[in-house]
Chain A
Amino acid sequence: MARSAKTALVLCLDVGFSMSNSAPGQEPPFQQAKKVIQKFVQRQVFAENKDELGLVLFGSDNTKNNLAKDDQYQNISVHRQLMIPNFELLEEIQNDVHPGSQQADWLDALVVCMDLLQNETLGKKYERLNIVMLTDLNTPSSPDQLDIIIGNLKRAGITLQFFLPFPVDGGGSNPPHGGKALSREQQQGLEMTKQVMMSLDEEDGLEEVYTFSDAIEKLSVFKRVEKRPMAWPCTLTIGSSLAIKIVGYKAVCEERPRKSWSVVDAQTHQKDDIKRDVVYCLNDDEETEVQKDDTIQGYRYGSDIVPFSKVDQDQMKYKTDGKSFAVLGFTKQSMINRHQFVGTQVLKVFAPKDDEHAGVALSGLIRALDDLKMVAVVRYVYARNGNPQLGAAFPCIKEKYECLVYIQLPFMEDLRQYSFPSLENNKKYTPSEDQLSAVDSLIDSMMLVEEDKDGVKKDLFKVNHIPNPQYQRLFQCLHHRAVNPSAPLPPMDPWLTTALQRPLAVATRCQAPLEILKKKFPLKEVVKKKELKTSKELFGNSTEEPDAKKAKVDEEEDFNLADITEGSITQVGSVDPARDFRTLIRQKSLPFGEVCQQLTGRIEQLLGNKNMNYYIKCIPCIQTFREQSVQVGNADHYNSYIQSLKTSIPVRGLQEFWDMLVQDALTLINKDEVEGSTFSSHDAKQFLTAGEKKEEVVAAVVDDTGDVDDLLDMM
């Protein structure tokens, strides 16, 4: 049976005028208190539990409560009765709760809250009744009723929490941090608060008094909804004659959000307006649709496709006959490699809590394994027809309890045994003493576990204390979108960003060692010229480089990788002629002229297709051709090719392509660029434009001679 236990809680917010007072530059207590309430309600809304919540304002301009009579219980307003909180409440708090111009006694407000709780919970079952008081205690209160109130709270089993703008112990006449000294009323109120809380709970009463700022910080973290751990009762067996009753619980498991996104129509936002439809079709040209009933199930077995019906499969498949936690044997802990753990959970295995004998027996096993530094290798089956797992049960002895920790181990099929070149026996890369000591001091400066002066070890970065940032961000955005449907998503909460970064102390400490390390690592000096750019990419701060430069680096890297992976290029291929051309020129394995000839061959081949896509591919070829020719200092091949290309343009109808060349200013190579060239820079430019005029004429001629279809095509 599910627990019907729920909480009834009344938020009692002081909206009196003093709540708006604050020291310059500080957020008024009212705003802080409102934030606390918003964050709290938001958390409740997303938790979607059955807890009920009421809201009482005091110091409000209006009066609305059952006890108000004559001049009693004035300026106290029950804003909302006990209800399951929802987004409407959140919106009301955001839009309708404002600071008032009155004052009201917080003790009176407390009485109203108690009355509300008692009336509305009558006859229903609640696990807990709670009142949350948010006030600056800045109204005079009469303490005469205090004992009666405390008595009533106790009798009704109502618990109380206080949220104040100042800390309860740092109060007195000393001014709280940055603020002004407490007023006489506040001092008196604080004394009364202490009195109430201590009489409700002598020892820990004061722990239920919080400051606004603390609360905001704590409530910023979305708390996941606690799942009740599911018990998995089973029997641990060793052979046929030794059995120990056990209960397993999931101890570590990747928590997933409870809800997932569903798809709706963009206009109506209705889920029902969308239907997902799966059709089956044959692999033929017509994509003939077939009915689902005309399909059967099958599996691939390499090149074979094996029809295998569900019925046959169920009959032939591997079956298990029930849950199991059977020991296959014991092995040394050192034989189990932690990096080979598989599966997505860790189980903790105890004896049932009411079974002392099982407890003793399991304890015997746990302690024996712990002493011997061994583990049990077990066959684990969750339930009948569940897949069997192989796993290790490690002994775990804590101060408060003992258990086995079960983690799944791989099957042979799960392992992929890659071998990698040796790092240590690699003479080329043996690190120098200098480098090692630089890393050594880096490690020193970046240790996250340190000892304080009392010898207590402190961990500066506990991952298991960080809430999963994915869900924090998700709920932040969900909440924001829920109350501001048309606003863009908010930026990431700063606390979350900070929580995921190197702790500030460490970040500061490691600056100097990092600088030293940078100097000790190979950069320009050691690396050959060719690798310079890749190394920069690897070891430089690439994000700070301008994009253009980075793009070039990328291209270079690409280039080098291609060199390695493609094996040696022996001719200008059709896939990337420009690249091949460049590589061949650099390799110098073939005469320059021959490589040029290969390239022009490819260009001609591409141009033969008379298609824009091929033209686009030719441009970089010609660009590279030109570039490399200039670099090599031989303009003859390029210039003569471009000249002959130009003469063939009209005949071949390549005007479109020629225009592209003109646009990219792919002129002839001039004397200034390469000594051997016969063209001046003026001539070279002239060559292109001169062509243009002439081309127009010729083009017209071509058009005239074209047949009707061509003409129509052009219209």
Chain B
Amino acid sequence: PEMARLVHASMAQWNDYHHEDEDVDGEERDESGVDYKSTGRDSLVFLVDASKEMFIMGEDEEPSPFDMTMQCVRSVYTSKIISSDKDLVALVFYGTEQSKNPRNSFKHVYIYHDLDLPGARRVQDVDGLRGEKGAQVAGETMGSGNTNLGEALWCCSNLYSDIKLRLSHKRLMIFTCRDTPHGGDSERDRQARTKASDLKETGVVIDLMHLMKPGGFDVSLFFCDVVSPPEDEAELGLQMEPCGKLEDLQKRVRAKEMKKRSVARLNLCLGEGMNVAVGVYITALQARKPNAIKLYRDNNEPVRTKTRLYHTQTGSLLLPSDTKRVQVYAGRQIVMEKDEVDVIKKFSDPGLELIGFKPMERLKLHHHLRSAVFIYPEEEMVTGVSNFNPFFTMCSVRNVFALCKYTRIRNSPPRFLALVPQKEEVDDGQAQIAAPGFHGIFLPYADDIRTLDTPQLPTASESQVDKMKEIVHKLRFKYRSDAFENPVLQQHYRNLEALALDLMAPEHIEDLTMPNVNMIDQRLGSLAQEFRDLVYPADYNPEGKTAPKRKPAEAAGGTEKKPKVEMSEDELRGHVQKGNLGKLTVPVLKDACKQFGVKVTGTKKQELIDALTAQLTK
């Protein structure tokens, strides 16, 4: 579950971004902008080798290739459930003893899950194939037998063609640790190659997720002719190493599993007649809990909501054109047509317009409004890349950012972006950790910056700063942006999972946002006390409320929460006569009521005052 969680919920609710700002004007809400309706569904088939070799445990208790694959499949299932619940996924085994496919026309191919939405049950199914027990289950239900990859691929191509929905992105991942699946049977090799090329012709992208095998995995023996050619030449070298670790495998699967979708395709206009086609992508955006749906009580089926506008007087239904928009200022209604409200927001056509360049240090850290976007040349366009490249390279060399005016869609008001060049970075395993392109940082307008009264306070002395440095030093860690899960989301999905599977209790989540207080205290030792002695006087309590009145209460430490201020009857009568009971606080009034045996029904201040006044003016 630990590893699964890494990918679990990985890209939750990208589609629900527009709930972030409850913007009535509806402007800029679909920043994620991906319309799945028009692009069709994504689909992914896991084609997993189930031969004996897949079940051999690695050294040092390393999980078997099969086990690793199942963990990956599970994490993709759960992440799909959360992030893109319209995507279709299938799980097919090859090299099995048993066969299970429509009409069982393909031997040694076992369709475990056909192409469909993943759900809680499927996650549970895959869980059942994990670990030692899972291997046993797999052995019993499917067994290991002959391999005919060609048949398996054929079977997969039927899965795709049986789907009546429009599929936009079709991907097939082969998980295996055998580089010569047919053991030299050239007829079967040929058959598999032909079937693979048939699949590729219908737009299926075939990836190889090859796993470590003793003696190394040689892709050139067979699989190089099966898989789809890489996106670019550079990638070719990177993917040739087999995965030995689950993390690597997951990383690799994750990088491939999501189709990159741009939120906009625009021209970056350098000047009159100088346009470079670019795509705008989102790489970091707050994931949110999805909206609840309404279900019919009797059958738990979702109900549809229909919103209707109707006229209060006549009861007749109104069309949008029967309405107008108003805002009221100084008591006057200002009326506009819906179209006018929209067109007011139009400034220029969609695009990125270069204003000029600034040195990088001019980009202020605190000029942050919302998640940045990522700008990359349109890959399909050769000229996009070749014209983008010099521009990109020089911005990077000169350490400048390009200031651009950004209009995302037709009626969106302009925002200014700082385009910051990002050079490509790869890790030791040659996996890309930072993609090359521009980060587009949204810059604030004058209205977005607030003027603050800054307090004038004394500053720390050198010895005080030095002590704090020791503290900072003790608590250093290496921050990684993907190391923290959102506990709110995790808890929510864990709850749903438990309900869907009738579990007794949801799986426990570890809240990584909580400070590890024990560990911190231990590491700091006496440092905290030493710093406190340096900066605080003995009688200062930094944890007390800002108002000092709380202090005596805490000092008393008794059972009483608040010291009771007994008020003499005369005092109270005085207040009543002067009519300034209202100056007393509610607790004092309540105490006074108790003290004088006044019965009050409500707790509102005026009710207390009225009751007291009634009592004392008798």
- In the complex, per-residue mask of B472-507: 1 if CB is within 8 Å of any chain A CB, else 0: 110111111111111111111101110110000010
Tally chain A residues at the interface, Cβ within 8 Å: 214
- In the complex, per-residue mask of A302-313: 1 if CB is within 8 Å of any chain B CB, else 0: 111111100001
- In the complex, per-residue mask of B455-468: 1 if CB is within 8 Å of any chain A CB, else 0: 11111100011111
List 18 A-B residue pairs with CB atoms under 8 Å apart, sorted by A's residue number.
A229-B450, A238-B520, A250-B450, A252-B444, A261-B25, A282-B304, A300-B290, A304-B120, A338-B420, A338-B439, A339-B283, A367-B460, A405-B365, A416-B285, A424-B436, A446-B357, A467-B446, A527-B383
The answer to whether the Cβ of B603 comes within 8 Å of any Cβ in the partner chain is no
- In the complex, per-residue mask of B296-323: 1 if CB is within 8 Å of any chain A CB, else 0: 1110111111111111110000100111
A308 neighbours in B (Cβ, 8 Å): 292, 495-496, 499
Closest Cβ of chain A: how far from B280's Cβ, in Å? 12
The answer to whether the Cβ of B255 comes within 8 Å of any Cβ in the partner chain is yes
Bound-complex Cα distance A257 to B178 (A): 62
A352 neighbours in B (Cβ, 8 Å): 455, 546
- In the complex, per-residue mask of A238-275: 1 if CB is within 8 Å of any chain B CB, else 0: 11111111000111111110011111111101011111
Q: Tell me which residues from 599 to 624 in chain A have a Cβ below 8 Å from any Cβ of chain B.
A: none
B435 to A420, Cβ gap below 8 A? Answer: yes
The answer to whether the Cβ of B543 comes within 8 Å of any Cβ in the partner chain is yes
The answer to whether the Cβ of B275 comes within 8 Å of any Cβ in the partner chain is yes
Tally chain B residues at the interface, Cβ within 8 Å: 228
The answer to whether the Cβ of B150 comes within 8 Å of any Cβ in the partner chain is no
The answer to whether the Cβ of B23 comes within 8 Å of any Cβ in the partner chain is yes
Q: Tell me which residues from 461 to 498 in chain A have a Cβ below 8 Å from any Cβ of chain B.
A: 461, 463-471, 473-474, 477-478, 481-482, 485, 489, 492
A272 neighbours in B (Cβ, 8 Å): 312
B416 to A482, Cβ gap below 8 A? Answer: no
A407 neighbours in B (Cβ, 8 Å): 365-366, 368
Closest Cβ of chain A: how far from B327's Cβ, in Å? 5
A425 to B383, Cβ gap below 8 A? Answer: no
Query: Looking at the complex, which one of B12, B325, B382, B467 makes contact with A413 (CB distance below 8 Å)?
Result: B12
Interface pick from A23-31, A513-521, A683-691: A513-521
Q: Tell me which residues from 403 to 417 in chain B have a Cβ below 8 Å from any Cβ of chain A.
A: 403, 405, 413-414, 416
The answer to whether the Cβ of A227 comes within 8 Å of any Cβ in the partner chain is yes
B514 to A538, Cβ gap below 8 A? Answer: no
Query: Looking at the complex, which one of B329, B379, B432 makes contact with A46 (CB distance below 8 Å)?
Result: B329
The answer to whether the Cβ of B270 comes within 8 Å of any Cβ in the partner chain is yes
The answer to whether the Cβ of B562 comes within 8 Å of any Cβ in the partner chain is no
The answer to whether the Cβ of B614 comes within 8 Å of any Cβ in the partner chain is no
Bound-complex Cα distance A551 to B296 (A): 50
Closest Cβ of chain B: how far from A511's Cβ, in Å? 8
Known A263-B324, A415-B11; further 13 A-B contacts with Cβ < 8 A: A87-B329, A255-B447, A296-B297, A298-B293, A307-B300, A318-B492, A329-B476, A379-B514, A416-B283, A419-B432, A461-B356, A461-B403, A464-B367
Closest Cβ of chain B: how far from A463's Cβ, in Å? 4
B479 to A481, Cβ gap below 8 A? Answer: no
A252 to B521, Cβ gap below 8 A? Answer: no
- In the complex, per-residue mask of B507-543: 1 if CB is within 8 Å of any chain A CB, else 0: 0010101111100110010001101101111001011
B232 to A422, Cβ gap below 8 A? Answer: yes
B322 neighbours in A (Cβ, 8 Å): 265-267
- In the complex, per-residue mask of B142-172: 1 if CB is within 8 Å of any chain A CB, else 0: 0000000000000000000000000000000
Closest Cβ of chain B: how far from A581's Cβ, in Å? 18
A263 to B390, Cβ gap below 8 A? Answer: no
Q: Tell me which residues from 1 to 46 in chain B have a Cβ below 8 Å from any Cβ of chain A.
A: 6, 9-12, 14, 20-21, 23-25
The answer to whether the Cβ of A443 comes within 8 Å of any Cβ in the partner chain is yes
A426 to B232, Cβ gap below 8 A? Answer: yes
Nearest CB in chain B to that of A364: its residue: B460
B464 to A241, Cβ gap below 8 A? Answer: no
Bound-complex Cα distance A672 to B118 (A): 62
* A-B pairs with lowest CB-CB distance, top 3: A359-B457, A303-B119, A353-B455
B120 to A298, Cβ gap below 8 A? Answer: no
B443 to A446, Cβ gap below 8 A? Answer: no
Interface pick from A69-77, A388-396, A641-649: A388-396
A371 to B368, Cβ gap below 8 A? Answer: no
A45 to B305, Cβ gap below 8 A? Answer: no
Query: Looking at the complex, which one of A366, A379, A426, A501 makes contact with B233 (CB distance below 8 Å)?
Result: A426
The answer to whether the Cβ of B277 comes within 8 Å of any Cβ in the partner chain is yes
A276 to B330, Cβ gap below 8 A? Answer: no
The answer to whether the Cβ of B193 comes within 8 Å of any Cβ in the partner chain is no
B371 neighbours in A (Cβ, 8 Å): 341-342
The answer to whether the Cβ of B333 comes within 8 Å of any Cβ in the partner chain is yes
Interface core residue of A229, A298, A485, A514 (most chain B CB under 10 Å): A298
Bound-complex Cα distance A355 to B543 (A): 12
Give the tally of cross-chain contacts (CB within 8 A): 703
The answer to whether the Cβ of A387 comes within 8 Å of any Cβ in the partner chain is yes
Q: Tell me which residues from 107 to 127 in chain B have a Cβ below 8 Å from any Cβ of chain A.
A: 116-123
Given A238-B520, A304-B119, A305-B302: A367 in contact with B459 (beta carbons within 8 A): yes
Bound-complex Cα distance A492 to B329 (A): 21
The answer to whether the Cβ of A361 comes within 8 Å of any Cβ in the partner chain is yes
B487 neighbours in A (Cβ, 8 Å): 318, 388
A470 to B80, Cβ gap below 8 A? Answer: no
Q: Tell me which residues from 295 to 348 in chain A have a Cβ below 8 Å from any Cβ of chain B.
A: 295-308, 313, 316-318, 326-332, 335-344, 346, 348
The answer to whether the Cβ of A438 comes within 8 Å of any Cβ in the partner chain is yes
Q: Tell me which residues from 368 to 388 in chain B have a Cβ below 8 Å from any Cβ of chain A.
A: 368-372, 374, 376-377, 379-388
The answer to whether the Cβ of A402 comes within 8 Å of any Cβ in the partner chain is yes
The answer to whether the Cβ of A566 comes within 8 Å of any Cβ in the partner chain is yes
A87 neighbours in B (Cβ, 8 Å): 329-332
The answer to whether the Cβ of A455 comes within 8 Å of any Cβ in the partner chain is no
B499 neighbours in A (Cβ, 8 Å): 306-308
A401 neighbours in B (Cβ, 8 Å): 454-456
B329 to A48, Cβ gap below 8 A? Answer: yes
Nearest CB in chain B to that of A420: its residue: B435
Interface core residue of A308, A503, A527, A570 (most chain B CB under 10 Å): A308
Closest Cβ of chain A: how far from B248's Cβ, in Å? 14
- In the complex, per-residue mask of A407-420: 1 if CB is within 8 Å of any chain B CB, else 0: 10111111111111
The answer to whether the Cβ of B85 comes within 8 Å of any Cβ in the partner chain is yes
The answer to whether the Cβ of A116 comes within 8 Å of any Cβ in the partner chain is no
Given A279-B306, A418-B374, A538-B277: A413 in contact with B118 (beta carbons within 8 A): no
- In the complex, per-residue mask of A151-178: 1 if CB is within 8 Å of any chain B CB, else 0: 0000000000000000000000000000
The answer to whether the Cβ of B566 comes within 8 Å of any Cβ in the partner chain is no
The answer to whether the Cβ of B216 comes within 8 Å of any Cβ in the partner chain is no
Interface core residue of B355, B451, B517 (most chain A CB under 10 Å): B355
B345 neighbours in A (Cβ, 8 Å): 470, 473
A416 to B356, Cβ gap below 8 A? Answer: no
The answer to whether the Cβ of B258 comes within 8 Å of any Cβ in the partner chain is yes
Interface pick from A106-114, A121-129, A429-437, A695-703: A429-437
Query: Looking at the complex, which one of B326, B369, B393, B500 makes contact with A431 (CB distance below 8 Å)?
Result: B393
The answer to whether the Cβ of A143 comes within 8 Å of any Cβ in the partner chain is no
Bound-complex Cα distance A340 to B373 (A): 10
B495 to A317, Cβ gap below 8 A? Answer: yes
Interface pick from A2-10, A190-198, A539-547: A539-547
Nearest CB in chain B to that of A89: its residue: B330
Query: Looking at the complex, which one of B283, B307, B344, B488 makes contact with A474 (CB distance below 8 Å)?
Result: B344
A527 neighbours in B (Cβ, 8 Å): 382-383
Bound-complex Cα distance A453 to B439 (A): 34
Given A414-B486, A421-B232: A252 in contact with B385 (beta carbons within 8 A): no
B423 to A424, Cβ gap below 8 A? Answer: yes
A467 to B447, Cβ gap below 8 A? Answer: yes
B475 to A238, Cβ gap below 8 A? Answer: yes
B423 neighbours in A (Cβ, 8 Å): 424
The answer to whether the Cβ of B586 comes within 8 Å of any Cβ in the partner chain is no
B324 to A564, Cβ gap below 8 A? Answer: no
B581 neighbours in A (Cβ, 8 Å): none
Closest Cβ of chain B: how far from A57's Cβ, in Å? 22
Closest Cβ of chain A: how far from B193's Cβ, in Å? 16
Query: Looking at the complex, which one of A359, A364, A425 makes contact with B468 (CB distance below 8 Å)?
Result: A364
